[in-house]
């Protein structure tokens, strides 16, 4: 148990999977012999693909789906094995149906590969050694046995997985804080909020920030799925409070970027940014301590009440007495103080403090990701424009072609290896395919070298334990280091094939040749029925504008808004910006003739992030200082700003072509953020209303900016498509 507390979730999961495979192999071997055990292990390995850290209900649905699909695939191969032409067509059909499961989104990622791996394992069994139905039957036994193991082990480790999910979320926030500090401290300052250029350094910085935000979004959702679905116990209440604080930190960190562009690029502005960066680092370290405490099941070191005091952070600022930038310094210090206060509250919760949740347990469960595989999800993918349908057709053609090509090769004794090589490399988009291609080739070469060394140095009795280690490594590192997964999977596949057909040897040379050829085939088939990112740009931009408009409607209200709907609107806005950023990143690997317009869409992302930051700042101010915000002028300004944003961010599709509606002329009081003369004289800690009024004016200005950026990006995207 002490060792388990030191392992990250993916390593603990990998070790648990390997232990389950070993138990099934031992049990079936003792009852039916070693050959039956190897066949059952094939089904267990396929089912184990869907066994990732999860709640018992999700584990049941995903592992059972993987086991059923693996059995159906094995049964299909058994029926068609005597007929090579029919088998090739059957491989294409299996690939098509396997990839169509992606219609259910991320929940089907690990399920979709189970039938592909099952057909490879089934083809590895030599014909005539046993009745054709026997491999499929043992496949079903192994899959069912592994389902029982997954449910039992998942229930056993549930508390640990929950703690690790929360710790990883807190750690992701800390990493994002450090990333922000590094951006602010960089000499060329490639911060999205302070640079309008599109240099390669800026693009790299943007990609790094986007990856950090994507990682945080994934971990937040994983933690929601574990924690919000718990029974309402004291431990669950504490975990919920910590998670809600981490979500709030995300908003505060986004808001911390505001107004930094007003500091300028001179030495004085650089000095202030360096001070902000230096203040973010100890806050990140305090979050690291909280994450470590969550992993270890203990409380972090006691934090002093005055651990963070930023009142004199800018005391020696090299600014002239009348420099308008001085008015910003109290606001920057106040934002840092808010960040630190949230971290201190997390530490207090870990020391036993109680905090009531703003949402009931039933309301929290609405934020848990949907589960299950409803058939109506397939309806949206009946069109030939659907990326899922196109990838399913592409995969069917690729895997069937790989089988027929393999049969024509001089070393046609193992056609399943070429099928497997194509299957693991060919992804739904070109960026992932290229990444998998390189990692797969490297991993296969390393794995083959390992098997050669093992076969020479170890006796046959040691190959079983090596196989189990390979299973653990391949399962654990699939999302962390795919080259390592590819290496371990190669070892696993070679040992499994050798176990069911010892007379075939290891055939290392054939394996390497098949991998190289498979990588080339997968690369080539990436251009068959391609789903270039430009196809979905109008929908992505529309989603960004609509979600920002919806969030603005909830954020710009003095009345207590529906907490659930406000949080849903905020999450949809984050998700829409994340989806656009991911599409832009994937497009950079596509042919230049079809790539998305980088500069224009980066501007949409930048202005979208700025708008989100402004809205978050207004929402936080209205929530924390409502007693001071009773002036009729402010109430009217909030209503006018809501109306202005609704009109500016409106969306129309005239004539079937996506475009933004012509925005109304920008109001005369929509402040240019670069106009320092509009900064209020008093700091926000003393007079918040003037600062909030200015924030509303800047909101209207930035809404117009994102409208213009979106219109420009769409026009540029359409011109690229036409060309």
Total length of the chain: 723
Question: Going by C-beta distance under 8 Å and a sequence separation of 6 or more, which residues neighbour residue 399?
Answer: 91, 92, 94, 95, 116, 419, 422, 423
pLDDT of residue 461: 64
What's the burial of 567, exposed, middle or buried (CB within 10 Å: 0-12/13-18/19+)? Answer: buried
Output DSSP code: residue 298.
Answer: S
pLDDT of residue 434: 83
User: What is the number of other CB atoms lying within 10 angstroms of the CB of residue 303?
Assistant: 19
Lowest mean pLDDT of 34-48, 367-381, 418-432, 438-452, name the range: 438-452
| Per-residue pLDDT reduced to its tens digit, 565-577 | 888 899 999 999 9
Output DSSP code: residue 651.
Answer: E
pLDDT of residue 190: 41
For residues 17-42, give the mean pLDDT: 91
Q: Of the candidates 158, 129, 145, which has an alpha carbon nearest to the alpha carbon of residue 31? A: 145
pLDDT of residue 130: 65
Report how far Cα 186 is from the mean position of its chain's Cα atoms: 26
Asked whether residue 138 carries a pLDDT value surpassing 90, the answer given is: yes
| Per-residue pLDDT reduced to its tens digit, 489-531 | 777 777 766 666 665 556 677 777 888 888 899 899 999 988 8
Lowest mean pLDDT of 256-265, 281-290, 455-464, 675-684, name the range: 455-464
pLDDT of residue 312: 86
| Per-residue pLDDT reduced to its tens digit, 358-380 | 888 998 999 998 888 888 888 88
pLDDT of residue 413: 65
Percent of the chain predicted with pLDDT > 70: 86
pLDDT of residue 164: 94
pTM of the entire structure? 0.86
pLDDT of residue 470: 83
Q: Alpha-carbon distance 367 to 571, whole Å? A: 9
For residues 691-699, give the mean pLDDT: 86
* Dihedral class, residue 148 (left if φ above 0, else alpha if ψ from -120 to 50, else beta): alpha
| Per-residue pLDDT reduced to its tens digit, 275-296 | 999 999 999 999 999 999 999 9
What is the greatest pairwise CA distance in the chain?
A: 91
pLDDT of residue 401: 95
- Mean pLDDT, the chain, as a whole number? 83
Asked whether residue 196 carries a pLDDT value surpassing 50, the answer given is: no
Q: How confident is the model at residue 194 (pLDDT cuts 50, 70, 90)?
A: very low
For residues 451-459, give the mean pLDDT: 69
User: What is the number of other CB atoms lying within 10 angstroms of the CB of residue 301?
Assistant: 12
Q: How confident is the model at residue 469 (pLDDT cuts 50, 70, 90)?
A: confident
Q: How confident is the model at residue 179 (pLDDT cuts 50, 70, 90)?
A: confident
Contact predicate 613/548, CB 8 Å: no
| Per-residue pLDDT reduced to its tens digit, 404-414 | 999 888 766 67
**Helix-strand-coil split of the chain, %, nearest 5:** 75, 0, 25
What does the buried/exposed string (b/e) look like for 600-614 if buried means 16 or more CB atoms within 10 Å of the residue's CB?
bbbbbbbbbbbbbbb
Asked whether residue 270 carries a pLDDT value surpassing 60, the answer given is: yes
pLDDT of residue 654: 40
Asked whether residue 124 carries a pLDDT value surpassing 90, the answer given is: no
The residue extents of the domains of the chain are 2-156+392-525, 160-365, 533-722
For residues 250-274, give the mean pLDDT: 85
Contact predicate 662/721, CB 8 Å: no
Q: At what angle do helices 563-587 and 537-555 cross, to 10 degrees?
A: 150
**Between residues 438 and 64, the one the model is more confident about:** 64
Report how far Cα 697 is from the mean position of its chain's Cα atoms: 34
pLDDT of residue 722: 46
pLDDT of residue 71: 96
Asked whether residue 82 carries a pLDDT value surpassing 50, the answer given is: yes
Q: Alpha-carbon distance 246 to 171, whole Å? A: 10
Hey, what long-range contacts does 567-571 have (CB within 8 A, 24 or more apart)? 567/359, 567/367, 568/366, 568/367, 570/251, 570/616, 571/367
Q: At what angle do helices 133-156 and 34-48 cross, to 10 degrees?
A: 60
| Per-residue pLDDT reduced to its tens digit, 140-176 | 999 999 999 999 999 999 999 999 999 999 999 999 8
pLDDT of residue 666: 43
Report how far Cα 485 is from the mean position of its chain's Cα atoms: 19
pLDDT of residue 297: 87
- Tokens linked to 444: 């296969």
Contact predicate 657/597, CB 8 Å: no
For residues 343-364, give the mean pLDDT: 90
Task: Concatenate the DSSP letters of all residues of 204-252 into one string.
Answer: HHHHHHHHHHHHHHHHHHHHHHHHTTS-S-HHHHHHHHHHHHHHHHHHH
3-state SS, residue 19: helix
For residues 668-689, give the mean pLDDT: 69
Q: Alpha-carbon distance 103 to 127, whole Å? A: 35
For residues 262-275, give the mean pLDDT: 86
- Tokens linked to 98: 């396997």
**Between residues 63 and 637, the one the model is more confident about:** 63
Asked whether residue 659 carries a pLDDT value surpassing 70, the answer given is: no
Asked whether residue 625 carries a pLDDT value surpassing 80, the answer given is: no
For residues 235-259, give the mean pLDDT: 89
For residues 337-359, give the mean pLDDT: 91
**Between residues 68 and 686, the one the model is more confident about:** 68
Output DSSP code: residue 300.
Answer: P
| Per-residue pLDDT reduced to its tens digit, 199-228 | 455 555 556 666 777 788 889 999 999 999
């Amino acid at each position: 148990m002490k060792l388990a507390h030191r392992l990250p979730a993916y390593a603990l999961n990998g070790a648990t999977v390997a232990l389950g495979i070993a138990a099934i192999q031992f049990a079936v071997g003792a009852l039916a012999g070693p050959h039956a055990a190897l066949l059952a292990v094939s089904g267990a390995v396929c089912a184990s693909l869907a066994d990732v850290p999860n709640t018992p209900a999700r584990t049941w649905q995903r592992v059972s789906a993987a086991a059923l699909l693996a059995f159906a695939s094995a049964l299909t191969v058994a029926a068609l094995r005597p007929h090579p032409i029919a088998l090739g067509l059957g491989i294409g059909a299996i690939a098509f149906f396997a990839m169509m499961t992606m219609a259910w989104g991320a929940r089907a990622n690990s399920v979709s590969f189970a039938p592909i791996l099952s057909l490879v394992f089934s083809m590895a069994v030599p014909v005539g050694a046993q009745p054709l139905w026997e491999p499929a039957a043992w496949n079903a036994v192994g899959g069912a046995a592994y389902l029982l193991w997954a449910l039992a082990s998942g229930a056993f480790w549930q508390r640990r997985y929950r703690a690790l999910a929360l710790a990883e979320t807190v750690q992701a926030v800390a990493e994002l804080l450090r990333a922000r500090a590094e951006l602010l401290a960089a000499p060329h300052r490639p911060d999205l909020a302070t640079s309008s250029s599109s240099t390669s350094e800026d693009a790299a910085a943007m990609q790094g920030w986007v990856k950090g935000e994507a990682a945080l979004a994934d971990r937040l959702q994983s933690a929601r799925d574990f924690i919000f679905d718990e029974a309402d116990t004291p431990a669950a209440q504490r975990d919920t409070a910590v998670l809600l604080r981490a979500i709030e930190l995300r908003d505060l960190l986004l808001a911390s970027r505001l107004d930094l562009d007003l500091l300028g690029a001179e030495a004085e502005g650089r000095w202030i940014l360096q001070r902000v960066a230096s203040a973010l680092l100890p806050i990140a370290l305090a979050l690291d301590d909280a994450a470590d405490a969550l992993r270890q099941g203990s409380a972090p070191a006691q934090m002093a009440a005055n651990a963070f005091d930023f009142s004199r952070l800018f005391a020696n600022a090299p600014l002239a007495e009348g420099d308008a930038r001085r008015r910003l310094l109290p606001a920057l210090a106040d934002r840092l103080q808010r960040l630190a206060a949230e971290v201190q509250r997390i530490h207090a919760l870990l020391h036993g403090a109680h905090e009531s949740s703003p949402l009931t347990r039933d309301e929290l469960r609405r934020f848990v990701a949907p589960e299950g595989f409803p058939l109506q999800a397939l309806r949206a993918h009946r069109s030939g424009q659907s990326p899922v349908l196109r990838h399913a057709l592409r995969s069917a053609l690729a895997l069937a072609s790989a089988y027929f090509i393999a049969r024509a090769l001089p070393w046609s004794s193992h056609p399943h290896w070429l099928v497997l090589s194509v299957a693991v490399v060919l992804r739904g988009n070109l960026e992932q395919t290229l990444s998998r291609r390189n990692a797969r080739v490297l991993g296969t070469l390393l794995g083959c070298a390992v098997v050669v060394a093992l076969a020479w140095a170890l006796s046959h009795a040691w190959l079983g334990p090596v196989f189990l280690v390979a299973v653990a490594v391949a399962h654990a590192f699939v999302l962390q280091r795919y080259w390592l997964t590819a290496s371990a999977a190669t070892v696993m596949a070679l040992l499994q094939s050798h176990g069911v057909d010892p007379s075939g040897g290891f055939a290392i040379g054939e394996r390497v040749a098949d991998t190289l050829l498979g990588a080339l085939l997968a690369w080539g088939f990436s251009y068959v029925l391609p789903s270039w990112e430009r196809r979905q740009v109008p929908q992505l931009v529309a989603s960004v504008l609509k979600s920002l408009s919806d969030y603005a409607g909830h954020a710009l209200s003095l009345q207590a808004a529906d907490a659930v709907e406000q949080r849903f609107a905020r999450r949809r806005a984050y998700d829409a910006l994340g989806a656009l950023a991911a599409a832009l990143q994937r497009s950079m690997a596509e042919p230049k003739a079809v790539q998305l317009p980088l500069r224009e869409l980066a501007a949409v992302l930048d202005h979208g992030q700025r708008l989100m930051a402004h809205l978050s700042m207004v929402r936080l101010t209205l929530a924390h200082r409502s007693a001071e915000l009773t002036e009729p002028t402010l109430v009217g300004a909030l209503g006018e700003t809501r109306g202005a944003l609704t009109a500016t961010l409106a969306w129309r599709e005239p004539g079937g072509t996506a475009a933004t509606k012509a925005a109304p002329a920008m109001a005369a009081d929509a402040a240019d953020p670069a106009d320092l003369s509009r900064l209020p004289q008093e700091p926000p800690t003393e007079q918040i209303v003037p600062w909030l009024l200015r924030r509303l004016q800047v909101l209207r200005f930035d809404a117009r900016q994102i409208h213009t950026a979106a219109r420009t990006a769409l026009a540029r995207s359409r011109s690229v498509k036409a060309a």
